[in-house]
Amino acid sequence: MKTTQSILGFLLSTSLSFLSQADEQARDVESLEALRAFIEVYEHIKGEYVEEIDDQTLLNHAIDGMLTKLDPHSGYLKPRDVSSLRDSTTGSFGGIGIEMDLVDGLIKVITPIDDSPASRAGILAKDIITHVNNETVRDIDLRKAVEILRGPIGSEVELNILRKVDGEAKELTISLERAVIRVTSVKHEILPHGIGYIRISQFQNRTGSDLVKAISKLQSREKLKGLILDLRNNPGGVLSAAIEVVDAFINEGLVVTIKGRDEFLESEYEASNTAVLGQEPIVILINGGSASASEIVAGALQDHERAVLIGTPSFGKGSVQTILALENDYALKLTTALYYTPSGRSIQAKGIQPTIQVSGGEAPVEPDSQVRETDLPKHLENAENADISSDRVINSLTQDNQLLHAYNLLRGSQLLTRSDGPRSLISP
């Protein structure tokens, strides 16, 4: 009871403080009334709810409620969530290896991570996870779902999945063995006729430097006459990595602008004259699974006319989340700004439109079955480099319509070499 009184006292003092500020700023009566209503509801729940709830749990629920109603990407991070976020940026964490989101109370897979237990087990984008170890996860908090899916390395986890096949829902049961997920964010291979292929699966702290190493390795094998940059099903990641990737292809100009509610939150990031591939033509592959940092890279290189984009419209996540440290190792992930491409285009809920729209070959899913930012409730409006098997990539040229289109475009561009600048892929 003493704890309750102290919490209520704090809330009341906050209200009075707010009232004092409101007096100085024309007195925001509506906000004050909302604070009073919150205190009343809190007291009723504490005193009359059918089950006793401790203060910390109730306050955590209140904070979660405030944030989840804002947009899909803001959240209250517990210490383990902070640790998981840190792991994902370094490219090493435990689990089954999927990117997922909560849509209408359903856990939907955005994309499986390359070379993960989920990918090897055949889990696909747009799969709906209904049960984990025979326990329903419908309407469960997304962070709780992540916690359930993660566990001791080598332990088993069973998933019940709904998958749309030929317009009908199919129920599947998939058993996975948890593993350390080491995401190799940059993979590369050389294709016939001196065309390089690089896939970035997500943007980690080392992605920029790993990309430069990959380009160097490709150039050491054969003089590059063009490059395919595959960002399909890349969910994004570290902003600085996206800027470094753009830096590898342009020497000057704006990369991305970040605009918050206030002018002092606006930032512009410029290229740093460190391009390592400044002449060779580039084709970027995107689809509905390309999000956030992927869209920054694609949008910047498209605006600078440095690359041709092939595929389908991207996800449309153009919002910026700031991690604010709180007491006791908790943190607040809060949407604070929006991304804009060099030409001033907002990515949010619009995505990046490909220069050449090519459908098909977006294995594992078709473009119209992918989850995008606009599908999310409360969305805001407007390890070391690794060689990919040469046979795997070359064989995919006969199966992946988008990759084949990109390859043929670059192959044709070899006849259009310009001596005074980057090669043109599309005649004016």
Structure-model confidence comparison of residues 48 and 34, the more confident one: 48
- 96-105, 319-328, 344-353, 411-420: range with lowest mean pLDDT: 411-420
Among 108, 126, 317, 333, the active-site one is: 317
CA distance 14 to 55: 17
Residue 187 burial (10 A CB sphere; 0-12, 13-18, 19+): buried
Assess whether 303 carries a catalytic annotation. Answer: yes
Find the angle CA(187)-CA(192)-CA(194) to the nearest 5 degrees: 75
Residue 233 near residue 288 (C-beta atoms within 8 A): no
Residues 121 and 140 in one domain: yes
CA distance 210 to 196: 15
Q: How many domains are contained in the chain? A: 3
Does 334 map to a domain? no
Residues 188 and 243 in one domain: yes
| Residue 385, CA atoms < 13 Å, CB-side half-sphere | 17
pLDDT in tens, 32-41: 888 899 999 9
| Mean per-residue pLDDT, 379-406 | 68
Q: How confident is the model at residue 408 (pLDDT cuts 50, 70, 90)?
A: very high
Does 64 map to a domain? no
| Residue 334 vs residues 34, 67, 90, 140, 392: alpha-carbon distances, Å | 21, 8, 21, 21, 41
Mean per-residue pLDDT over the chain, rounded: 84
We report the CATH number of the domain holding residue 396 as 3.90.226.10
Does 81 map to a domain? no
Assess whether 2 carries a catalytic annotation. Answer: no
Residues 390 and 312 in one domain: yes
Per-residue model confidence (pLDDT) at position 373: 60
Among 74, 292, 314, 346, the active-site one is: 292
pLDDT in tens, 215-229: 999 999 999 999 999
Structure tokens at 426: 């599309």
Q: What is the DSSP letter of 264?
A: G
Assess whether 69 carries a catalytic annotation. Answer: no
Per-residue model confidence (pLDDT) at position 93: 72
Among 74, 303, 319, 333, the active-site one is: 303
Per-residue model confidence (pLDDT) at position 362: 41
Look up the domain containing 40 and give its range: 2-53
CA distance 146 to 243: 29
Residues 11 and 101 in one domain: no
Per-residue model confidence (pLDDT) at position 420: 43
We report the CATH number of the domain holding residue 111 as 2.30.42.10
Does 402 map to a domain? yes
Residues 199 and 176 in one domain: no
β 128-132/106-112 pair status:
antiparallel
Residues 38 and 150 in one domain: no
* pTM to 2 decimal places: 0.73
Q: Which of the residue ranges 8-12, 248-252, 416-420 has the most confident prediction, judged by mean pLDDT?
A: 248-252
pLDDT in tens, 317-338: 999 999 999 998 999 999 999 9
Does 191 map to a domain? yes
Does 260 map to a domain? no
Residues 230 and 295 in one domain: yes
